[in-house]
Homo-oligomer: A and B are copies of this chain.
Amino acid sequence: MGLKNTRAGNYPEWYQNVVNEADMAENSSSPGCMVIKHWGYGIWERIRDVFDEKIKETDHENCYFPLFIPLSFFQKEAEHVDGFAKEMAVVTHSRLAMKDGKLVPEGKLEEPLIVRPTSEAIIADSFSKWVKSYRDLPVLVNQWANVVRWEMRPRLFLRTREFLWQEGHTAHASAAEAEEETKRMLEAYRDLCENTLAMPVLVGRKPEHEKFPGAVDTYCVEAMMQDGKALQAGTSHFLGQNFAKSANITFVNKNNESEYAYTTSWGVSTRLIGGVIMTHADDEGMVVPPKIAPYQVVFVPVIKKPEDADAIMAYISNIANEAKKVMPFGEKIRIKIDKRDKSSVDKFWEWTRKGAPIICEIGMRDVESQNVMVKERIKLGTPEGKQIVSAKEFIDTLATRIDSIQKHLFTKAKERLEQNIRTDIKTPEELKKYFESSNVWIEDEKQGKVAFVRGKWSGDANSEELLKAMKITIRCILFDQSGTEGVCLLTGKPATMDVIYARSY
């Protein structure tokens, strides 16, 4: 009952199969945009709720800023516009009119408006009005919003023209405080990825040529997908005074002098869902970590004789009511009883492909013996794939069971990450040879289980070209530096910086 494509067979098609079969999202008739369906949006709601709590705990306030940014705002920050001008939706008219039976745009705007690709420009404009004195600082805001970037090769969750995200924006009285904020939120992303999505990440700083347009420093969390490619899961930018200067965010400091503020921005998006898929899904379909599963437990009635239906449904309802009192991770549990008019086998495979963590099949025999047939998604196909336990034991161990599924997923992904960072590549020649042969699913034994290379980088000005020629990128300059000297894997020059080389999404 597996997917049409496997990871080893055709990884990109496998990804598409997972998304389709789990009914998480689909391409829409609006070119390059996706429809996020219930199972995908439910995962996003969970990610949002968890991170929103963190945003509030760290004293950030949710606000909402305009979708449209006047074109002239982009002219202010030169680097910023260079980075985004190539991929923006431009609104030029404000109405439609019928001409010769055809609708045409009318009411040309004096100034075109850009549909936000990110909101630094428009939020900096607000900050410039709000901030007058050091007493008004820091300003700590966040918004949950949709953004648009004109992607030419869209891919569900990973790269669509419109996507959903949160973007935090802050202004501070000193560079040190702003940098501290940048790193605090990076750490919040690491925590979100690892402890909520069960997706281990590497943390570090982007090289100069990979920075956010307009940033002084971009920090990132990078995850390893099952095809060995890197996925940038979140970024946190220290913007220095760049946006403050272009938007004129000035404040009177404690010495009564006027100064430009220091700003930051940081964001994660629905792209995380793509990361979750490529971290946990298998050849049978999606696997959702319990913390973000729209339903953690699904009950599937197995009704062989119509006359048993009432007894089975009553028994399920009783167990579900007991289960509702269980608090995995100290939160309300999420339970679904699948009452649809469909065969139980079809239901089982549907929830399997959706990756619901626990599926309980309950038939007349279970009612009579007061048992529950428990199938954990992560144990599918193993000897423990089906467990018959008493209803009492099921309830008593449910929180632990859910917790251990979450832990198992993280541990497995963490091992994969750790086992697939090569550290034995020592020269540019070896690096080149390695990446020429390794663009495959990393658990395909024939190709070797390798994906990332940890090695030295000299920071040479030539690096971008050399990387492009090899179709790889430097994912980050690791926070975790060894301090040793070695040879730059790009240029052969002496180097001390430890970086991650990888192909990427």
Q: Which A residues are closer than 8 A to B by beta carbons?
A: 26, 28-31, 33-38, 41-42, 44-45, 61-71, 73-75, 81, 85-98, 102-103, 105, 107, 112-115, 122, 125-126, 129, 135, 141, 145-146, 148, 150, 161-162, 164, 341
Given A28-B126, A90-B95, A115-B115, does the pair A65, B105 have CB atoms closer than 8 Å?
A: no
- Taking CB atoms, residues of chain B closer than 8 Å to A126 are 26, 28, 35
Q: Output the nearest chain B residue to A112 by Cβ-Cβ distance.
A: B105
The minimal Cβ–Cβ distance linking A251 to chain B, given in whole angstroms, is 15
The reply to whether A62 and B38 form a contact with Cβ atoms under 8 Å apart is: yes
Interface contact A41-B29, CB-CB below 8 Å: no
Taken together as a complex, chains A and B put the C-alpha atoms of A35 and B139 apart, in Å, by 15
Chain B hits for A103, CB < 8 A? 71, 74-75, 81, 85
CA distance A135 to B86 in the complex (A): 45
B68 touches A89 (CB 8 A): yes
Out of B69, B96, B135, B162, which one reaches A88, CB within 8 Å?
Answer: B96
Closest Cβ of chain B to A474, distance in Å, is: 27
Closest to A64 in B: B36
- Further contacts, 8 of them, CB under 8 A, given A68-B89, A88-B95, A90-B91: A28-B122, A30-B69, A41-B61, A42-B62, A71-B103, A89-B94, A94-B150, A95-B150
**Distance, CA A168 to CA B307, complexed state (A):** 37
- Copy tally for this chain in the complex stands at 2
Pair A90/B88 contact, Cβ less than 8 Å: no
Given contacts A28-B125, A85-B95, A90-B92, whether A164 and B64 have CB atoms under 8 Å apart is yes
Q: Check A93/B95 contact, CB under 8 A, given A28-B65, A85-B103, A112-B105.
A: no
From A35, A65, A74, A162, residue with most partner B Cβ within 10 Å:
A35
**Measured between C-beta atoms, what is the minimum distance from A316 to chain B in Å?**
18
List 24 A-B residue pairs with CB atoms under 8 Å apart, sorted by A's residue number.
A28-B122, A29-B73, A29-B122, A30-B70, A33-B66, A33-B68, A35-B64, A35-B66, A38-B61, A44-B64, A67-B162, A68-B89, A71-B103, A81-B103, A85-B95, A85-B96, A85-B97, A85-B103, A86-B96, A87-B95, A89-B113, A90-B92, A91-B92, A146-B146
- Measured CA separation A2–B174 after assembly (Å): 37
A89 vs chain B, min Cβ distance (A)? 5
**A125 partner residues in chain B, CB cutoff 8 A:** 28-29
Query: Within the assembled complex, what's the spacing in Å between the Cα atoms of A95 and B150?
Result: 8
In the assembled complex, how far is the CB of residue A339 from the closest CB belonging to chain B, in whole angstroms? 11
**A37 in contact with B63 (CB, 8 Å):** yes
Find the residue from A63, A75, A86, A96 having the highest chain B CB count within 10 A.
A96
**Would you call A35 and B62 a contact (CB within 8 A)?**
no
Residues of B within 8 A of A45 (CB): 62
Tell me the minimal C-beta distance from A346 to chain B in angstroms: 12
Check if B94 sits within 8 Å of A87, measured CB to CB. Answer: yes
Question: Residue on B with the closest CB to A69?
Answer: B30
The minimal Cβ–Cβ distance linking A98 to chain B, given in whole angstroms, is 8
Smallest Cβ-Cβ distance to A164: which chain B residue: B64
A63 to chain B, nearest CB (A): 5
Contact in complex: A63, B35 (CB < 8 Å)? yes
Of the residues B65, B81, B88, contact of A94 by C-beta under 8 Å? B88
Of all chain B residues, the one with the shortest Cβ separation from A67 is B162
Report A243 CB to chain B, min CB distance, Å.
14
A113 to B162, CA, bound (A): 13
Check A81–B96 contact: CB distance below 8 A: yes
CB-nearest residue of chain B to A126: B35
Contact yes or no, A105 B92, CB < 8 A: yes
- A403 to chain B minimum Cβ distance, whole angstroms, is 23
Cα-based distance from A42 to B63 in the complex (angstroms): 8
Nearest CB on B from A171, distance (A): 15
**Whose C-beta in chain B lies nearest to the C-beta of A62?**
B41
| Closest B residue to A87 using CB positions | B95
Interfacial chain B residues near A34, Cβ < 8 Å: 66
A87 CA to B93 CA in the complex, in Å? 10
Are the CB atoms of A135 and B341 closer together than 8 Å? yes
Which one of A38, A63, A90, A148 has the highest number of Cβ atoms from chain B below 10 Å of its Cβ?
A90
CB nearest to A140 among chain B residues: B38
Residue of B nearest to A65 (CB): B35
Beyond A87-B95, A88-B96, is A66–B115 a contact (Cβ under 8 Å)? Answer: no
For the complex, what is the distance from the CA of A267 to the CA of B373, rounded to whole Å? 42
Contact B146 A113 (CB under 8 A): no
Chain B residues, Cβ within 8 Å of A90: 91-96, 105
In the complex, chain B residues whose CB is within 8 Å of the CB of A98: 85
**For A88, what are the chain B residues with a Cβ–Cβ distance below 8 Å?**
94-96
A68 → chain B, closest Cβ, in Å? 5
A122 to B28, CA, bound (A): 9
